[in-house]
Homo-oligomer: A and B are copies of this chain.
């Protein structure tokens, strides 16, 4: 255990540099109006004494922590098993680090902990927050709304009240889903099923809507061909088993994400169905560790997840005036998707 021992004070820095405490403070806190030779002397004194600014005191003056919280509204177990989150964090981390902001990831065991997360967010420990993977009935947005903590959301928020003013980064979930289903129809498939994600998330709801757009236009809609699931491989397996029992004649599956598609492929293999000959399969996300390792290689709808993370961080920093002046005020961004053809469709 580290013990508290005396550490160099700002007064010591000022004395060594031969300047007033106020001047030393101005240099340490990045203020203007100090002549360059004095700045240099203070910097040298800081270095020689190994002075570390008292951040708490500094924050009281600057109201800046140079720290951004990231909240993924899922239990930590999912964060470490779904590569989507690792990719998004990678983009966020690169962007925050480039602007010398600390990434503060707040982990939870589940929704019961979101009140505690909100307390931390509103407690003066971070300058803003990036929040993603929200479910519709999550209390978190309500808890942080009105706290004055700037937030950028990952994925379009689904709540109706106040959601209009929210800034978010998302991909074109509906359009990407349409591309996938049109591609399956173009292959001559007529019994195209959809295994959904959790429908209390807008990404899952939008992908279902895109599927329905095309199926309705084709006049091939059939509620039996839609099975609800949860974005996990186990969920995909379960749903695919149910689908095959219900509609053994299914000849194509659009899975709501790549992890779901992994489960779908496993069940098709077990049941002796050939992919893509008997059943064509398309996923969503293009998380490479999954799509490259799948057997056969997965055709999927690609979204640039790392770039989305980077953009979220950039929008938030812009709103905090941390980036170049003259940039536009932040508004939401929806990125296009691309169909990536591999072996399964």
Contact = CB atoms under 8 A, between A and B. Distances in A.
Contacts of A93: 76, 107-109
Give the copy number: 2
A149 B81 CA distance: 32
A166 B1 contact: yes
Contact of A148 (B2, B100, B106, B147): B2
Most buried by B among A3, A6, A94: A3
Interface stretch (A48-56, A191-199, A240-248, A249-257): A48-56
A274 interface: no
Contacts of A106: 102-105
Contacts of A122: 52, 54-55
B97 A2 contact: no
The number of chain A residues touching the other chain, given as a range, is 35 or more
B90 A76 contact: yes
Interface string A6-40: 11000000000000000000000000000000000
19 contacts: A1-B150, A2-B144, A2-B145, A2-B147, A2-B148, A4-B147, A5-B146, A54-B122, A54-B123, A56-B123, A59-B124, A65-B123, A66-B119, A80-B80, A89-B107, A94-B109, A102-B117, A102-B120, A104-B105
